[in-house]
């Protein structure tokens, strides 16, 4: 039922439209035009999220959310897709952007198939967000109170088609500034408090990396100092902590803050801390109707189903927290966020077939 050639063409077209996070205006309008052409009612919200709705075709059922994101990670532009042995790569100098344009292409293909073949489907709500790679920025700005869906499918994972991601961690975004005292590094260093030294001691002492099976943390950015010969009075540290257990996350974040507090006190420096919960953990089970629906669709296509825990948040965290429980499915993308990112055409087709089967099985015929 899926038209492989059309699906691949759609994907290649999308990949060639630059859309790093914060620069989604062009692709947003392109996607809106495509949804309009498919007869959906569309709108772009104040931050650039594209929302499209189509009533049920030839059937009934609860509103079903299909969500993907239109931004690509980092700043890469001018992406040139290359097909080798049935696998789509970039030319090796950039990411491919299969994360998440393979998801967008799958949604467009499914909508096209439903329309051209007059297939029954439930009312569908399409949300294509901006800024997902910035920490679910678009989804967090979305007016979720206007969502009509009972449940949803987010296309934003890799791995075998039968892997269904049904849980995700909470994440704390941790921004710290160590304030020291500047001084001339040669003439009177004893008058200074070296903020880089304070930060270094704290980072060396804090928990880092994998903490346990469901808990991790990282220091990702450090910025500070102004000149070789000035004792630095300021250093900024940006990190994160994640866990699928909120109590563990709170304890970990508290430990990190305490470690920095101790180091700054030891040196007479001052700590400015800013912690924000970016998204909140959730866990669905095979009892949840959306899990049942997608799992049954996958089995009907011959896939072995595994319910998996995700290591990262997706827009599904936001929708689930807003009362629209979401399963995250694989689009077939692999090695995302690297120049080796790729997607096998067979996997892209399999993910799209799963989406189509799940959408069709959500129809109530009455
Ligand atoms: Zn993604």
Residues 250-304: tens digit of each pLDDT: 999 999 999 999 999 999 999 999 999 999 999 999 999 999 999 999 999 999 9
Please, what is the end-to-end C-alpha distance for the chain in angstroms? 24
Instruction: Say which of 24, 99, 109, 132 is annotated catalytic.
Output: 132
Stated pTM of the model: 0.89
Instruction: Decide: 192 and 183 in contact? Cβ < 8 Å.
Output: yes
DSSP letter (8 states) at residue 24: -
Check residue 366 and give its pLDDT: 52
Instruction: Decide: 240 and 171 in contact? Cβ < 8 Å.
Output: yes
Ligand 1 centroid to Cα of residue 105, in Å, is 13
Check residue 202 and give its pLDDT: 98
Ligand 1 centroid to Cα of residue 101, in Å, is 9
**CA distances from residue 320 to 154, 186, 238, 253, 297 in whole angstroms, order as listed:** 11, 57, 27, 24, 21
Closest CA relative to residue 268, chosen from 356, 366, 183, 148: 183
Check residue 275 and give its pLDDT: 97
Asked if 71 is an active-site residue, the reply is yes
Check residue 365 and give its pLDDT: 65
Check residue 279 and give its pLDDT: 93
Ligand 1 centroid to Cα of residue 313, in Å, is 9
Check residue 281 and give its pLDDT: 95
Check residue 59 and give its pLDDT: 79
Check residue 56 and give its pLDDT: 83
Ligand 1 centroid to Cα of residue 118, in Å, is 31
Ligand 1 centroid to Cα of residue 24, in Å, is 14
CA distance 86 to 239: 38
Closest CA relative to residue 362, chosen from 285, 284, 286, 291: 291
Ligand 1 centroid to Cα of residue 73, in Å, is 8
Ligand 1 centroid to Cα of residue 212, in Å, is 24
Instruction: Say which of 24, 71, 133, 353 is annotated catalytic.
Output: 71
Spans in the chain with pLDDT lower than 70: 365-366
Length of the chain: 366
Domains along the sequence of the chain with CATH? 4-168+281-361 (3.40.630.10), 170-278 (3.30.70.360)
């Amino acid at each position: 039922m899926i038209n492989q050639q059309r699906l691949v063409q759609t994907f290649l077209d999308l990949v060639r439209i630059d859309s790093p996070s914060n620069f989604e205006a062009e692709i947003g309008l392109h996607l809106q035009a495509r949804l309009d052409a498919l007869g959906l009612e569309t709108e772009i919200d104040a931050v650039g999220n594209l929302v499209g709705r189509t009533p049920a075709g030839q059937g009934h059922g609860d509103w079903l959310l299909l969500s993907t994101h239109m931004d690509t990670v980092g700043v890469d532009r001018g992406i040139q897709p290359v097909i080798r042995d049935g696998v789509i790569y970039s030319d090796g100098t950039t990411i491919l952007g299969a994360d998440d344009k393979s998801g967008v292409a799958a949604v467009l293909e499914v909508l096209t198939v439903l329309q051209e073949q007059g297939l029954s489907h439930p009312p569908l709500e399409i949300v294509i967000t901006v800024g997902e790679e910035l920490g679910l920025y678009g989804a967090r700005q979305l007016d979720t109170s206007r969502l009509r869906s009972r449940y949803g499918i987010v296309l934003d994972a890799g791995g075998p088609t039968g892997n269904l991601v049904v849980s995700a961690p909470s994440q704390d975004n941790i921004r710290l500034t160590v304030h020291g005292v500047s001084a001339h590094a040669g003439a009177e260093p004893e008058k200074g408090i070296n903020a880089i030294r304070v930060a270094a001691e704290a980072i060396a002492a804090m928990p880092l990396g994998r903490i346990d099976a469901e808990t991790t943390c990282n220091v990702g950015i450090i910025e500070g100092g102004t000149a070789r010969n000035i004792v630095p009075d300021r250093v900024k540290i940006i990190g994160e902590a994640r866990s699928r257990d909120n109590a563990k996350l709170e304890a970990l974040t508290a430990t990190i803050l305490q470690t920095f507090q101790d180091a700054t006190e030891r040196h007479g420096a001052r700590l400015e801390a800013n912690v924000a919960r970016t998204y909140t953990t959730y866990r669905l089970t095979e009892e949840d109707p959306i899990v049942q629906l997608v799992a049954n669709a996958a089995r009907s296509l011959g896939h072995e189903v595994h319910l998996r825990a995700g290591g990262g948040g997706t827009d599904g965290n936001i929708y689930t927290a807003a009362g629209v429980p979401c399963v995250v499915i694989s689009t077939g993308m692999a090695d995302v966020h690297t120049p080796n990112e790729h997607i096998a055409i067979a996997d892209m087709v399999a993910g799209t077939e799963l989406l189509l089967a799940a959408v069709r099985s959500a129809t109530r015929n009455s």
